Structure 1
Amino acid sequence: MSITDETPERLRPDGAAPRATPATPRVHPAWWVAAATFLTIIGAAGFRSTPSVLMNPLHTEFGWPMGLIGAAVSVNLVLYGLVAPFSAALMERLGVQRVVAGALVLVSAGSLLPIWMTSSWQLVLSWGVLVGLGTGAMAMSLVATVTARWFVERRGLVTGLLTAAGATGQLVFLPVLAWLAEHSGWRSAALVTGVMALLVVPLVLWRLHDHPSDLGLTAYGAPPGTPTTRPARPDDRPVRLALETLRDASRTRVFWLLAGGFAICGISTNGLVGTHFIPAAHDHGMPLTTAAGLLALVGIFDIAGTVFSGWLTDRIDARILLGVYYTLRGASLLLLPSLFGDEMHINMLAFIVFYGLDWVATVPPTIALCRDAFGDRAPIVFGWVFASHQLGAAIAAAGAGVVRDQLGTYTLAWYVAGALCFGAALMSVSIARRRVDAAAPLADGI
């Protein structure tokens, strides 16, 4: 049946007489949904700012090694990545509202429970398992689901804004949490994070509607005549499709080049700089609030860098862009140990500006390469590539802590990450010679 066989007016569930044009609010509800999603991601990002601020206070109070605290963060990062490919399937079965509200409750519980902890395994359970599952359910899959259901026009713009929400959350929370940890104790910072996650739940239940058809509407910018009916909820096919796609993609060379490069991206961003920059700066005498403020600046320039990288991806070979990004990142990490000091200076500020611009600039070209190589399955393949990113971040979060415990300094961790970035650059450039042949087996299966 074509979309012209039944118009939106004939499909109205209330049985009222059809109208020439459905009544549409002055502000399309899609924008309210996008706003609720933006605030949800910011709320989830609050916890993602917490470990780097609280590592030193926990180390001081409990005497736990940095490697052990980093291990709790690594569990979080692994689950955050592994949950992402499957969370969209869960949203299809249970609805976006239920999944996101439940995820926020998990994040809140994982943030609040450490206030009463007495053993290190409780930190791993709360920071690692509970928050890892919660934030993973609100990762890339939430952005992809919301933009696919609610937007036809401005989809790219909304995707960029929602992706940048994580950086905005880091910007909002880091200085506040650092100030609280320094002046009121780390438990106050954990309390604020947990409460903020809970405060977003009513907004999710109020404005984060599952589908435009729930309101008798179509997506923003949908062409005239588009039905307002909602597609039937699938069975467990999305889960099987995710696993089948991983099986097929893993047989190709291009997948491993992308996954390997993105794993190094995770090592050099979330896992190392995102988790250990503040403790490393504190080792050199820099006040906690100053270090947190510098890391928060990464969030500001991250937004500009992501948007600009997307613009460049439309105009320049994505493989070349990745090669340049990883090379410059590696060089900056090799210089970082010489930039630390007991106060902020212009060279460190230059590093922060550059690193912010480069932080997630790798995402648009990586998605483009997935699309070129894997066609219709690109979103699912990118979900698994993103999982490798988080796995790399987890290794760095734990490994850098061990390096600090054993050597008394993070210097070796910065050098290893810088060298790995040069390897990622080589892997990215080599995709140009192997992409077509490597993608063939998966393309045949689409």
Structure 2
Amino acid sequence: MIKKVLIANRGEIAVRIIRACREMGIDTVAICSEADKDALHAQLADETICVGPAPAKDSYLRMDRILSAAYATGADAIHPGFGFLSENSKFADLCKKCNITFIGPSCEVIDKMGNKSEARKTMMEALVPVVPGTKEAVYSSKEGKEIADKMGYPVMIKASAGGGGKGMRIVTSEEEFMHHFETASQEAKNAFGDDTMYIEKYIAKARHIEFQILADNYGNVIHLGERDCSLQRRHQKMIEESPSPAIDDKLRKEMGETAVKAAKAANYCNAGTIEFLLDENNHYYFIEMNTRIQVEHGVTELVTGIDLIKEQIKIAHGEKLSYKQEDIKIEGHAIECRINAENPYKNFTPSPGLVTGFHMPGGKGVRIDTALYTGYKIPANYDSLIAKVMVHGCNREEAIAKIRGVLGELVVEGIDTNIDFQYQLINNKDFKDGNIDTGFIERLLKK
């Protein structure tokens, strides 16, 4: 078994991985920036190494320093978490060349599925339904406009190397295409160092449904049901739940089998997510694959009882899957709210700073993944996500009531947060009735 894992990340996901390793008897190494020297993950790990100044490009994105830290501490594996280097094929390849186990898929698969244009092409060849759009990458606004004009508006412009909502624009008319293409491609170049784009038909009032998959090195692939991630703002997920209120058992079985088919087509290994759009007529389309653990993985863990981080480590060690498809049972209902350090009533302005008070609710079926503590100073250099509030109930109604109570009890003082905004979403009648789609929050904010 892997003996020592270096966590190439920070915040709540680093804490989550440390705890899983501890339960498995695996030693841990945390890396931190100078801004994170007092962070919880840096305090909980068995060893901690500072890898640079606060900016991520000088610390959490420095492959050389991270690999040097692994060598210096004798770590035989690296878990990248999500974000930062988690979907960087060069980093996965360097780990392999340094004889360090990368807890994730191979660099070849990350390349294939991380490039959205290549992923679409792979799925088309495997006869997995994809959103109508370009099969090859688009390199210029002129070329893109010609394609969009023929396709018909509205369309979605997306970065081939994109993720996290960056490099994405909805275009409703030919007059605005050139501007949106240029701004999206520039944003993609700044974020990913790659400004190649692709174009899809925009599907209005769609749900965002993703299937969690696990795959080992022996060709075994299973899915662990779906998560409904339709409540988004600027393509960033805010609330996730499992199972989806929009999917029945028959559709779940079909989409799950398609997700497994997609993973096999990519020769995938480890934990990953196949993401679909589901339209109003229950037609579904592949949009992308995330080749890493997801922020919202906890809701799947709550309804299946399976620890996805532990499974990732076992698979990376070379073990066969611990489960077969028939072993996977979805029990009850789980909901997650992402708590961000931001002010929703001032255009969601980030709110870093000192946490002067923190009360974390508990109780049966309540899980909160966070790296917060009273006295912690949230840096201004990183993502605003500070906690993931999750609940598990025997059904959706109970889960909604439970998370409403948790949000009402959760206290974070000293900074602005979106707790009250999340509370309003949970209490919205359309949410409670399950009448939501990816444009729901944007429409709500315009009222």
TM-score by length of 2: 0.28
Relative contact order, CA 8 A, sep 6+: which one is greater?
1
TM-score w.r.t. length of structure 1:
0.28
- Structure (1 or 2) with the greater strand fraction: 2
Larger radius of gyration: 1
